[in-house]
Structure 1
Amino acid sequence: MTTFYFVRHGKTELNLSLKFQGGDIDSPLLPIGIEQAIQAGRYLCDISFDAIAVSTQKRAMDTANYILKENNYLDKLTLQYYDSLREIKFGKREGTEINHADEQTAHLRQRPDLYDPTAFGGETIDSLVTRSTETIEKISEEYPDGKVLIVAHGVLLITLINSLIGKEKANWREGGPLANTSITIVEKKNKYTLTSFNDISYQTQTEDA
């Protein structure tokens, strides 16, 4: 059985300003985002991971590094970086303010089966889930009895997780959005099973700075 620990990156400047932050843009972790990652690392410090798979975007890589600095079992463990774990691409909307009244934004959040990013050159939900699922399947084959940390992004993770556990496409955003540095645990044996979802119980109150 492969046990996946899915973690969203820490809070960033663009998260705070409510702007689209997809696969073609990055912004730094806020101090609170760094603190969230450190707290997540302390929470996971006694888990001996067999593999670490991280998006190639800086906010995810930084989050992973802060988490792993707290871990007690790092001997011979290396991070593997995957373009396939980058966030969904928003095309011309990257870095722009999110308009919650926009039809496609509403579809992305509530009915991903209806989401069509063609007008602004964005990535489809099917593309996002296909590329991320292929990576997870490959890792589960390489580590059939392993514990694997995955550090990636909000839209990617919620759609990927819901797809893996067998939900219909219309429900791939169900339970989202995932909180920054939340931990979701999924076990893969004959099928994918959710054992813990969007866990931020370890977080203590911190101030944005």
Structure 2
Amino acid sequence: MTTFYFIRHGLTQNNIERRFNGGTVDTPLVAEGIDETNRMATELAATTFDQAYSSPQMRAQTTAQIILSQNHAAPTIQIDERLRELKLGDWDGKVIDEVKNHPEAYNYFHQPDKFNSEKIHAESYEQLINRGKDFISEINQKNQNQQILVVTHGLFLMTVFSNLKQDPLSQLRKSPIVPNSSLTILKTDGEKAEFVTWGKTF
């Protein structure tokens, strides 16, 4: 079984301002996000990671750097484009309340299986699932029985985790998004997926 330590990046300015924080925008971690990530780093200092991967977005890279800064045998962080947050096109960076009357807003939040991403020049949930599963499958095959650190994003994690649990896309929004600076541990052999820890904060 390969063990994945999935971490959602620390709190950012966009998160505080309730803006869409998708795959084409970035703001730095705020002080609270840095503090929360440092507490997680302390807890994970003695954990042996064989590989470490991060989304190319700086909020994820910064989180990964903080986590590994306290690790006793930190591997080099590898950047993987497949870990990028869902690209939200015309909505990226906008205050969430500003788009609440958009024809696709209800589908995005409540009927994800009916969300037409092309209407806002965004990436689809299905595209996100495909690249997320492709990443997990490849890394699992290359690193069986190893411990893998992965730092990525909230919507990415919610969507991919839901799919791994074999939930239909229509049920995606039934579970809350994991918190910033949270840890979810997944064990998988490529066929079965077992969540050992879910959305733990420190």
Tell me the TM-score range normalised by the shorter chain: over 0.9
Within the alignment, does 1:129 sit opposite 2:136 as a pair? no
What is the aligned partner in structure 1 of residue 118 from structure 2?
118
Give identity over the alignment, percent.
Answer: 30
Aligned residues: 199
For each residue in 1:26-63, what CA deviation from the matched residue of structure 2 results, as whole angstroms up to 9, or x when unmatched? 00110111111111111111110111110000000000
What is the aligned partner in structure 2 of residue 197 from structure 1?
198
What is the deviation of 1:72?
1.7
What is the deviation of 1:109?
3.2
The correspondence of residues 1-209 of structure 1 with structure 2, limited to 5 A, is: 1-74=1-74, 77-99=75-97, 101-102=100-101, 104-189=104-189, 190-200=191-201, 202=202
The alignment's C-alpha RMSD in Å is 1.4
C-alpha separation in 2, matches of 1:133 and 1:88: 14
As a proportion of its length, which structure holds more helix?
2
C-alpha separation in 1, matches of 2:157 and 2:39: 20
C-alpha separation in 1, matches of 2:174 and 2:197: 15
What is the deviation of 1:174?
3.6
For the residue of structure 2 that corresponds to 1:180, the secondary structure is coil
- Residue segments in structure 1 that go unaligned for 5+ positions in a row: 203-209
The question of whether the paired residues in 2 share the 8 Å contact of 1:165 and 1:194 is answered with: no
Amino acid at match of 1:109: F
What is the deviation of 1:169?
1.5
Alignment TM-score, normalising by the size of structure 1:
0.90
C-alpha separation in 2, matches of 1:162 and 1:6: 14
C-alpha separation in 2, matches of 1:71 and 1:109: 38
For each residue in 1:136-172, what CA deviation from the matched residue of structure 2 results, as whole angstroms up to 9, or x when unmatched? 1100001110111110001001111111222221223
The question of whether the paired residues in 1 share the 8 Å contact of 2:104 and 2:119 is answered with: no
Amino acid at match of 2:125: I
Amino acid at match of 1:133: K
Alignment TM-score, normalising by the size of structure 2:
0.93
Amino acid at match of 2:35: E
Cα separation, partners in 2 of 1:71 and 1:173, compared to 1, 3 Å: farther
After alignment, is 144-153 or 95-104 more displaced? 95-104
